[in-house]
Amino acid sequence: MRELNGKVAAITGGGSGLGRELALCCAARGMKLVLGDVDEKGMQETLRLVEQAHPGTESASMRLDVSSLEQVQAFADLCKSRFGSAHVVFNNAGVSVGGPAWENTVADWEWVMGVNLYGVAWGVKVFTPMLIAQGEGHIVNTASAAGWLNGPSMAIYNVTKHSVVALSETLALDLRDAGANVGVTCLCPAFFPTAIHESARNRPADKAETVQLSGEKAAMRSEMIKQAVEKGKISAAEIAEMTMKAVEEDRFYVFPHNKIPHLIRMRADAAARQGEVFDSMNPQ
Ligand SMILES: NC(=O)c1ccc[n+]([C@@H]2O[C@H](COP(=O)([O-])OP(=O)(O)OC[C@H]3O[C@@H](n4cnc5c(N)ncnc54)[C@H](O)[C@@H]3O)[C@@H](O)[C@H]2O)c1
């Protein structure tokens, strides 16, 4: 979509990190905002920053748990009732939990799959018919480099992000088959500084039972991930801007970190050799 001025952006996870920066980028382009997040205070802060940087931006927000199809439907209904529609839909909310797969609890699986996979699936299910019917629109799914490369101690997260890549690619192919004027972008960043490593802050009480990481190796892995997020060299603001350019240029893949496509090629080579598992933290 070349012209975004006056159009409506629906952003999940708009109360923090990348979602907040996407909101600022959309407002900078004259878009109206509809934010959804379980963190209502975070969304109010995003809207305060938007008003400060781009006074007069029209906006709406609601408490939204993306793992609920009914709530995602209510989010789309809010876009319609407030602004008549949505044009660019950012399925961006995401959470993370560490641990080896065999130690993760059922609640770990249900929580992360619910937000990262079903959250995106419901966003696609609810919004795509609206975009097809109005004859224009764009869907941005936030996947991750973890949608291609599997670092240790992130089994559930990796599974969900691979799924988001698969869902996004298939969605783009099906929209092409349908002759729909609806673009898709699949965003695949490596680590960048946000509050993602503190995801448990917004974890629901009924899915509270989590893995008890024990031993030096687990502590080391957990610290490595925290450091990688905090020391990420590309900011959420830069990634948001790259994402907006991809929407404007109707590009599907976005890899903000140059080394990722190279590592994906190395992983494909390792798979073709049919030998040892590929270790993206220690690539050979
Ligand atoms: N930060 C990174 O290193 C990194 C790397 C690759 C991909 N990503 C992805 O970027 C996206 C944004 O994450 P971030 O890094 O900005 O983290 P963040 O924690 O700063 O923001 C995530 C937002 O999602 C919200 N959220 C959590 N559960 C929700 C739910 N059930 N329904 C609605 N909203 C919910 C949180 O309240 C928070 O505002 C995620 O999909 C994440 O997986 C992040």
Q: What are phi and psi of 91, to 5 degrees?
A: -85, 90
CA 1 to the chain's CA centroid: 20
Task: Provide the pairing of β-strand 137-142 with 32-37.
Answer: unpaired
Contact 111, 204 (CB under 8 A): yes
Q: Which two tokens stand for residue 136?
A: 């224009």
Q: What is the pLDDT of residue 6?
A: 98
Contact 3, 30 (CB under 8 A): no
Catalytic residue among 111, 127, 148, 157: 157
Q: What is the pLDDT of residue 169?
A: 98
d(CA 109, CA 101): 9
| Residue 65 Cβ < 6 Å to ligand 1 | yes
Contact 22, 14 (CB under 8 A): yes
| Residue 71 Cβ < 6 Å to ligand 1 | no
Q: What is the pLDDT of residue 218?
A: 83
pLDDT tens-digit profile of 226-245? 999 999 999 999 999 999 99
Q: What is the pLDDT of residue 76?
A: 98
Q: What is the pLDDT of residue 162?
A: 98
| Residue 229 Cβ < 6 Å to ligand 1 | yes
Q: Is residue 253 annotated as a catalytic residue, yes or no?
A: no
Q: Which residues contact 9 (CB under 8 A, 6 or more apart)?
A: 22, 23, 26, 31, 32, 33, 34, 86, 87, 88, 89, 90
pLDDT tens-digit profile of 210-224? 999 888 888 888 898
CA 32 to the chain's CA centroid: 20
> Given ligand 1 and candidates 20, 38, 41, 63, which is best to mutate, with the most ligand atoms within 8 Å of its CB?
38
| Residue 61 Cβ < 6 Å to ligand 1 | no
| Residue 42 Cβ < 6 Å to ligand 1 | yes
Q: Which two tokens stand for residue 27?
A: 């407002």
Q: Pick the residue whose CA is nearest to atom 4 on ligand 1.
A: 191
Show the low-confidence residues of the chain (pLDDT under 50).
none
How far, in Å, from the CA of 177 to the mean position of ligand 1? 31
Q: What is the pLDDT of residue 221?
A: 87
Q: What is the pLDDT of residue 222?
A: 87
d(CA 284, CA 124): 37
Using DSSP's 3-state secondary structure scheme, residue 208 falls into coil
Write down the residue that tokens 């992360």 correspond to. Answer: 112
Walk me through the domains of the chain, giving residue ranges and CATH numbers: 8-191+204-258 (3.40.50.720)
Q: What is the pLDDT of residue 220?
A: 87
| Residue 185 burial class via C-beta count within 10 angstroms: exposed 0-12, middle 13-18, buried 19 and up | buried
Q: What is the pLDDT of residue 59?
A: 98
Within 10 angstroms of residue 49's Cβ, the number of other Cβ atoms is 15
